[in-house]
Structure 1
Amino acid sequence: MDNKKSTSDKGIQYKSKKNRFYNYYFVGIIILLLLAGCATEKEEYLIIEENEIIDKEKNEEISNNDFEIIEGDQPVSRGLAAKMLALARYNKNEINQYDREINFEDTDPTFWYDKYINIIMINDWFKHRNSELFKPLDPLIYNDVERILESINIRERVNTDLIKNANDTVSYEEWLEIYQYIIEELDVDQEIRKDNVIIVGTPANIEELNSWQLVTDKGKYYFEGLNMDHLIDKEIQVIRKGSDIVGVINIQSNEPTITNVWIETIVDNQATVFVGGSYRNYNITHPIDKEVFNKIGDISLSESKINHVTIKEEKISGRVLKINRNQVLLEGIGTYNIAPDYKVYGNTNDLSWQNINQVIVGYNTADFVIEDGVVHAIVIRDAVDIKHIRVALRTDNFNSLVHNEVKLTSDVDYTVYYGEEKRVYEKGHILTIDANHPLLKEYLTIKPNADHGKIEIISVNRAYGNPQYRGQIDIIKNNNELYLVNEVSMEEYLYSVVPSEMPSSYGLEASKVQAICARSYAYSQFYSNRYSGYGGNVDDSVSSQVYNNYEENDTSRRAVNETEKLGLTFNGNVVSAYFFSTSSGHTSNSGDVWVNWSNREFPTDTPIYVQGHPQFDQTLDLDLSIEEDFEEFIKNDDYNAYDRNISWYRWEVTMTREQLERSINTNIQERFLTSPQTIRTLESNNRFRTRELESIGELIDIEVYSRGNSGILTEILIQGTDKTVKVGTEYNIRYLLAPKKHSDREDDIFITRKDGSTVSNYNLLPSAFFTMDKKYNSDQQLQSITFYGGGFGHGVGMSQNGVKGMVDRGYHYEDILKHFYRGIDIQPIY
């Protein structure tokens, strides 16, 4: 805890390893004062699989009797109540996916509350007083509350003392108590949380901010419908969901301390600080005896002025081996805890507010500001010059990143480095490491003693057996668990990615194509740094790209070496090179496959380099977006397509009405909740609306609604006895019509491929390039559908089997890449 000087001091304090003066009397007084003023716990975090964060306070009650509710006796507006109600169930992105259906005269999309009113009216959660007006600025009354509670089926649970006369207005404090019941019912993912934040600025004092955006000590948030200007430079308790402040509970402190800010300057009793992503200027109440430039420190505020500054001078740096929100492991230094109120700043070019994922593992690019042995701030000082990549290795079948035990050996003598010591083992010696091994304190590093040597992991199985790894292996201890990481050069990493993604039997040119695509993808995944909590930049599964499932070979090594550092760029930026297994003879536009979530459009625009085009040299005289033309195309094998010799080039599968019905009803709610914008229900006014649903009832029919220019299905119509729905995106279509039995009592469902071979029970249809032949009974009721299709995968970018076909026809790797990715450049990317 900081040792804060009395107000008679000069107002600035330096803390460093060599210069610490502790006044225990004042420390004791301050501790008592802080304990007396702390009514709630600070946020705590628990690291779980894939570095996800769980907030332990999610289930705390919103109401708080230890502080006076801000404006608690004031009425709450219907507009604000609509916002809070909507955010109890949906996040902002989900709310924005719904079409606007309301037509009240007193609101339109330019008002902040419009989208929230829309979603609560769609769900029928709010009783409007007449059809023309919503009256969003009118006070909420208890008749409104009764309607809300009844509509979400919690009226019986709410304390009757909270419900008063129907026409009485509801105070903000009373609404907060009722709101606790609402979130218990609607916040199924427990995303609503209490949080303490210090308001640094709003558009009233920081011009760069957007409307309804504010800066806090924890970053930027949105505060639609709330009055926050009078809370600047105060610590407040809020209800928060993601980046949205749902409501304000109380003031925690009128004289807060903002911790771990970047102090750009303190000169002539004026301070410029950077916090939460914005600059702020403050006057200082006491003379400062020393100018300050670019330091980390704490500033204490009183009446919007700084009355005390603590500078944190001590810092360390080192190569980061693992980092999460709780701890960082530095090579040769050890593990440091990270304070709950840590901050991360980027200082490679312009100063920026960053998150901890920007601290790239495997490199020494950041300074860690230390106080009392704990990291309080991280300053990223250097950009990464990519030389190697760290791969978090999974267990058998790529199941888990957590290992209980690691057994390894090497084809050469190898050395184990632990702490400042090392131990050499002869080649072939099997070393077994578990969490209790005497050599393993925090981590071990294993290196072969010859450049050509490899480490073999005996405790892991891959397609070719026990995998062997170039570079070094790190075993990192995390309590009683082990993380296993391979650090290897980027190019050597690709040696074992290429054969895992593209069969080496396809030839050198095909492997060169895959090497360049894989390098481009690895580049973007490297900077995402998603596995830093496990010590890796990437992992070795399909979550990144498959690594070392098949052994490196002469072809993969040549392919990588002869394309060294080359990647795909468009307008100077490295692109993610989408690829898939097999085309139907035509690739698809990315805009016909994936939703543009920034504007909710589907289908949407497609960048030039991922536009679809024919996969043959002949002229195509058909419009594949027209059903009859596409049917002629997909049932015709006359086109000399690059993929035509691949079994998945054409396929067919027959499913009964009952099988299709089970597949649709089993999966439709899951798909809706994942992507509400893409599954719409037909209403009585013949308009499709975004409506949550669990089932369509009994299946009546399935029809094509729209196709893209490539022939890929973009939307289908599924008619049921209960619901008729329009389903968009190829993935949803393939998922809902999955040729898979759903119990052991059902018959297997077989897909027949072009070469006559069959496969059964797939979780998805092979592709959305298909047409349907439907069979009806004498009563014109659907009996079965035969799907005639082509290709395997989403169809965007490069067909891997198409590459094989082009190689067989003599194409060079550069020509192949420029065929699939129009307008790209092939150039060094690091």
Structure 2
Amino acid sequence: MKKRNMIRWILGIPVIVLTLILVILICEPEKSGITRAAAAKSVALAVLSPEELKAWEKEYGASHFAADEVGEWYVPYLDYLYENGYLDETETPADREHAEDFLTYSEAARIAQQVSGSLKRLVPGTRKNGKKAYPEEDWWLLYDSLLKEADPDGAVHTESIRIYGTPENIQGCPAWTAYTSLGTLTFYGLSLDSYVDHELTVWVRDTELIHVQKDEGQNTLYRNVWILDGDSQGLMVYIGDIQRKIPFRKSYKKTDELIGNLADLTMEHGKITKVSVKKERISGKVLSVQDTAIELEGYGSVPLDEEYKVLKAYGDVKRQQLSDILVGSESQEFVVAKGKICAVIKEREDTADKIRVLILGNGFESRYHAKLEITCPGSVKEIQGDKETMLDPGAVISVASGDGTCSERLVLEPQDGNELTVTSLNRAQGTPSYGGRLEILDTEEGLVLVNEIELEEYLKKVIPSEMPSSYEKEALKAQAVCARTYAFMQSRSNTYSAYGAQIDDSTQFQVYNNVDPDEKTAQAVQETYGKMLYYDGNPITAYYFSTSCGTTTNAAIWDSDPEDTPYLRCLSLQTARSRLSFASEEEFASFIKKKDFSAYDSSYPLYRWNFKTNGTIIASHVSGVGTVTSVSVTERGPGGVAMKLLVKGSEGETTISGQNAIRSALGDASIQLNYGVGKTSEGWSLLPSGFLIIEETGTDENGVAQFRVYGGGYGHGVGMSQNGAQAMAKAGMGYEEILKYFYDGVTIEEKNKL
């Protein structure tokens, strides 16, 4: 009996196991699918960036969806898939119902095949499951493989982020927007509200969050948070780019000690459990700004914390960028912990009193010097780190790159108002001398030389280098206001912050100290002391150039939106201040060939010019077309400036875009330019301006195409014509009237601070 029961028991075990397996299979919930909208978004962003997708949508200019659905978040993504064959509208109609419904196996297979034929095998599609929902977890496994084909450069990548706020907990937060440790991200189609104060692993492209891969939990650490206010129940903090009230887990009585400090906040389930205040602060002049460190006078190079913050603490607290820290500035404090800068706290506005100029080498050709020799008729204070030495009058400071003298920044401060002469440097006036102070730093490429000087003193050496001192006083004063405004704005660009400079001394900014100043130019600066050009309360970018062709243009020549600089107008340099427009090439040709077209600067030599050139010369500057057969302007900007040039040849054709590129393509050192009354000159590798036409004049005996180019003006043509200003001054116009002629709607105000 016992033996029979044992046999029954042994035989029954497989039956029991099979029964359990069947129960599990029957009762196991079906895997949830992914909506077509979410899948479409992930595919579109694997192929295009958010900005590229917007550009595609604008160019496409239509939609597969009905008009009342076009504003839905998913429309651009699905439109892209329909239009590029990833989905078939006859099988998957373009409407809200299908967008919000689940992606099917057959649709997933089609998308995979469209990306790469080899991917289709990863989707186990059959006749039976073709219309079933494709599981979401399977989609993201497929997506990982899809990215390797569609996004080999890794634009879509994995990031670990913390969510600070969404529209759910931040009043005024735009829809589909999240404030995160990675910056402000959009998250169309996702649900993120429940993830506030969580650590997440996500897929992201640029500023668009695509998918939450993993929730790492709600216990998190917020580093380098600015404490604005608080009470016993919680703190008002500036975190990321937002202000937010965060409660304590337990009431805290000493909140006053926390306000106005930087701290790390330990969080558990959305509440503060610990506040670690960082109280150590240092201050000093900013000498240079690198990606990983800030060089401070008296401290050397101090590394940046991995999660450093730059905060404007006066007025409304605002997050800023590293590029907003101006070299030479002393208007901030630095919160330091464990030898690293955790935050830069800007406590007041930067003044416009000084400027820091990178002094280029001979001919303004290089920012680096192999050797520098500097002397001064008076005594000089030499500063390096915390060491100061007073050098006797006439001492020579000689530094060679790599000699170890300037591995740490060397500062030279002349005493008693003297200037430092750089005897190793040549400029148009000979050996230049510099007011203010000079700083030398040795880099891998060579020595860099920086001149820190009062802005007004800088201008006294800019004006004569940019406009002849023989010009009328009112023209020089107009130039001084332009140069001051331009210098102020360009100094904010921090172009050379890694070296400790804001601008350089070449035509890339403004030519500085290439010609000796004189009393007349110094008076022009003094009589306009501190005055700058403003539009709608803000300083303008006061572009200027040498000579017009009778008209100016606007910032569209640099692919900028003219609406951003409404004070830069295209206008005629005639007393009527009208705008010249040209309906055809023939009309502009008639204008530019007319030597006696009356304008303020029509008496200056480069008002009109012309020259001969040929296909061989042009081909030496334009590649890929073979033997040049024809050249023509196909697009003009405001005022007639050439914006696109079509060059055709025996091996193809190419279009050159931008007035500067066109000036370079048509220019050549061998060109003999005819201008003025019987005057000529050579060496125009960059043509005087982009206001030009090209006429074909046949071929020579060797069959080489011949051309004559007619043009007018000298310079980019935006803002103030310097020779136009001189003519206006001669006609009795004051500097303010001149400036308001060229810059529309501006005011002229004396301000050194913003």
TM-score by length of 2: 0.81
Given candidates 143, 147, 156, the residue that maps to 1:179 is 147
SS at match of 1:610: coil
CA distance in 2, matches of 1:425, 1:255: 60
Structure-1 residue corresponding to 2:111? 144
Secondary structure of residue in 2 paired with 1:258: strand
Do the aligned partners of 2:44 and 2:80 also contact (CA within 8 Å) in 1? no
Structure-to-structure mapping, 1:99-110, within 5 angstroms: 99-105=59-65, 110=71
For residues 627 and 177 of structure 2, the distance between their equivalents in structure 1, rounded to whole angstroms, comes to 45
State the distance in 2 between where 1:697 and 1:249 align.
57
Corresponding residue for residue 799 of structure 1: 721
Tell me, in whole angstroms, the C-alpha distance in 1 between the residues paired with 2:448 and 2:209. Answer: 37
Distance 1:436 1:607 in 2: 45
Three-state SS of the structure 2 residue aligned to 1:823 is: coil
The match for 2:746 is 824
Residue 416 (structure 1) shift: 0.8
For 1:704 and 1:293, the matched residues in 2 are separated by: 62
Q: Which runs of 5+ in 2 are unaligned?
A: 1-30
Distance 1:103 1:382 in 2: 50
Q: Distance in 2 between matches of 1:364 and 1:497?
A: 25
Distance in 2 (CA, whole Å) between partners of 1:657 and 1:403 is 40
Q: Residues 195 and 430 of structure 1: is their aligned pair in 2 closer, same or farther, counting only changes over 3 Å?
A: farther
**Counterpart selection for 2:690 from 758, 762, 768:** 768
Equivalenced residue count is 700
SS in 2 for 1:561: helix
Instruction: Give 1:82 shift.
Output: 4.0
Within a 5 Å distance, the mapping from 1:290-439 to structure 2 comes to 290-291=254-255, 292-403=258-369, 405-434=371-400
Partner secondary structure for residue 273 of structure 2: strand
CA shift in 2, pair 1:652/1:435, >3 Å: closer
SS of residue in 1 equivalent to 2:144: helix
Once the 2 structures are TM-superposed, how far is the Cα of residue 751 of structure 1 from its aligned partner?
4.3
2:701 is the alignment partner of 1:739: no
**Equivalent position of 1:757 in the other structure:** 680
Shift of 1:619: 9.9
Is the 8 Å Cα contact of residues 596 and 602 (structure 2) preserved in structure 1? no
Query: Which one-letter code corresponds to 1:560 in the other structure?
Result: V
Matched, 1:493 2:493: no
Q: Give SS of 1:262's match.
A: strand
User: After alignment, is 621-630 or 362-371 more displaced?
Assistant: 621-630
After superposition, give the CA deviation of every residue in 1:718-771 in whole Å (9 maximum; x if it has no partner): 789999999876456556xx2146xxxxx95554434441435635x5433233
Q: In the aligned structure 1, how far is the partner of 2:409 from the partner of 2:583?
A: 57
Aligned counterpart for 1:575 among listed residues 527, 540, 543:
540
Give the RMSD, CA atoms, in angstroms. 4.1
Return the alpha-carbon distance in structure 2 between the equivalents of residues 577 and 786 of structure 1: 34
Paired residue for 1:204?
Answer: 168
SS in 2 for 1:499: helix
Note if 1:262 corresponds to 2:226.
yes
- Paired with 1:433 and 1:752, the residues of 2 have a C-alpha distance of 46
Q: 1:216 aligns with which of 180, 187, 196?
A: 180
CA contact (8 A) 1:221 1:245 kept: yes
Determine the structure 2 residue equivalent to 1:10. Answer: none
CA distance in 1, matches of 2:215, 2:650: 54
Asked if structure 2 preserves the Cα contact closer than 8 Å seen for 1:715 and 1:726, the reply is yes
**Residue 608 to residue 350, structure 1, CA distance change in 2 (3 Å):** closer
Q: Which residue is 1:531 aligned to?
A: 496
Rounded Cα–Cα distance in structure 2 between residues aligned with 1:795 and 1:766: 10
* Deviations 1:87-108, CA, capped at 9 Å, x for gaps: 35x8559837952345423687
Is 1:95–2:22 an aligned residue pair? no
Task: Specify whether residues 665 and 86 from structure 1 end up closer, same or farther in structure 2 by C-alpha distance, changes over 3 A only.
Answer: farther
For 1:93 and 1:759, the matched residues in 2 are separated by 48
Report the secondary structure of 2:718's partner residue. coil
Q: Indicate the residue corresponding to 2:439 in structure 1.
A: 474
Q: 1:83 to 1:419 in 2, by over 3 A?
A: same
What are structure 1's unaligned runs of at least 5 residues? 1-70, 598-603, 667-694, 742-746
Letter in 1 for 2:594: N
* CA displacement 1:141-188 (0-9 Å, x = unmatched): 2332332347xxxx7xx8x9757659795611321233134333xx4x
Separation of aligned partners in 1, 2:56 and 2:377: 57
Instruction: Determine helix, strand or coil for the equivalent of 2:449.
Output: strand
Larger Rg: 2
Matched-pair contact (CA < 8 Å) for 2:42–2:210: no
Structure-2 residue corresponding to 1:812: 734
Letter matched to residue 318 of structure 2:
S
The alpha-carbon deviation at position 199 of structure 1 amounts to 0.9
Deviation of residue 345 (structure 1)? 1.1
Q: Report whether the alignment pairs 1:80 with 2:41.
A: yes
* Residues 93 and 530 of structure 1: CA distance in aligned 2, closer, same or farther (over 3 Å): farther
Task: Note closer, same or farther for the CA distance 1:773–1:539 as it changes in structure 2 (3 Å cut).
Answer: closer
Change (3 A) 1:198 1:477: farther
Q: 1:332 deviation in Å?
A: 2.5
- C-alpha change, 1:395 and 1:664, in structure 2 (3 Å) is closer
Give a deviation string over 1:531-553, Cα, whole Å, max 9, x none: 33221233333443332233333
Residues 1:495 and 1:344: Cα distance change in structure 2 (over 3 Å): same
TM-score, normalisation: structure 1: 0.74
Looking at structure 2, the residues matched to 226 and 316 of structure 1 have their Cα atoms a distance apart, in angstroms, of 43
Structure 1 Cα separation of the partners of residues 626 and 114 of structure 2: 28
Q: Distance in 1 between matches of 2:76 and 2:688?
A: 38
Q: Which amino acid aligns with 1:639?
A: F
Shift of 1:215: 0.6
Three-state SS of the structure 2 residue aligned to 1:264 is strand
DSSP-derived class of the 1:309 partner: strand
Deviates more, 1:456-465 or 1:484-493: 456-465
Distance 1:533 1:416 in 2: 22
**CA-to-aligned-CA distance 1:355-390 (integer Å, 9 cap, x gap):** 122223323211211212221112111112332222
Could you tell me how far apart the structure 2 residues matched to 1:267 and 1:618 are? 65
Query: Given that residues 163 and 197 in structure 2 are in contact (C-alpha distance below 8 angstroms), is that contact kept between their aligned partners in structure 1?
Result: yes
Matched, 1:195 2:156: no
- Shift, 1:472, TM fit: 0.9
> What is the CA–CA distance in structure 2 between the aligned matches of 1:339 and 1:513, rounded to whole Å?
46
Checking the alignment, whether the CA contact within 8 Å between 2:163 and 2:178 is kept in structure 1 is: yes
Amino acid at match of 1:389: I
CA distance in 2, matches of 1:109, 1:789: 49
Displacement of 1:560 in angstroms is 1.2
Q: Which residue type is aligned with residue 527 of structure 2?
A: E
Higher relative contact order (CA 8 A, sep 6+): 1
Between the aligned partners of 1:544 and 1:101, the Cα distance in structure 2 is 40
Q: Once structures 1 and 2 are overlaid, which stretch shifts more, 414-423 or 128-137?
A: 128-137
Partners of 2:445 and 2:694 lie apart in 1 by 54
Alpha-carbon distance in structure 2 between the residues aligned to 1:323 and 1:346: 17
Structure 2 partner of 1:60: none
For residues 640-789 of structure 1, the aligned pairs below 5 Å read 640-656=598-614, 702=632, 704=634, 708=638, 710-713=639-642, 730-731=659-660, 734=663, 738-740=665-667, 748=670, 750-754=672-676, 755-760=678-683, 762-763=685-686, 765-775=687-697, 785-789=707-711
After superposing the two structures, state which structure 1 stretch, 710-719 or 216-225, moved more. Answer: 710-719
Q: Within the alignment, does 1:588 sit opposite 2:557 as a pair?
A: no
Structure 2 vs 1, CA of residues 240 and 606 (structure 1 numbering), >3 Å: closer, same or farther?
A: closer
Offset, 1:518: 0.7
Indicate the SS of the match to 2:590.
helix
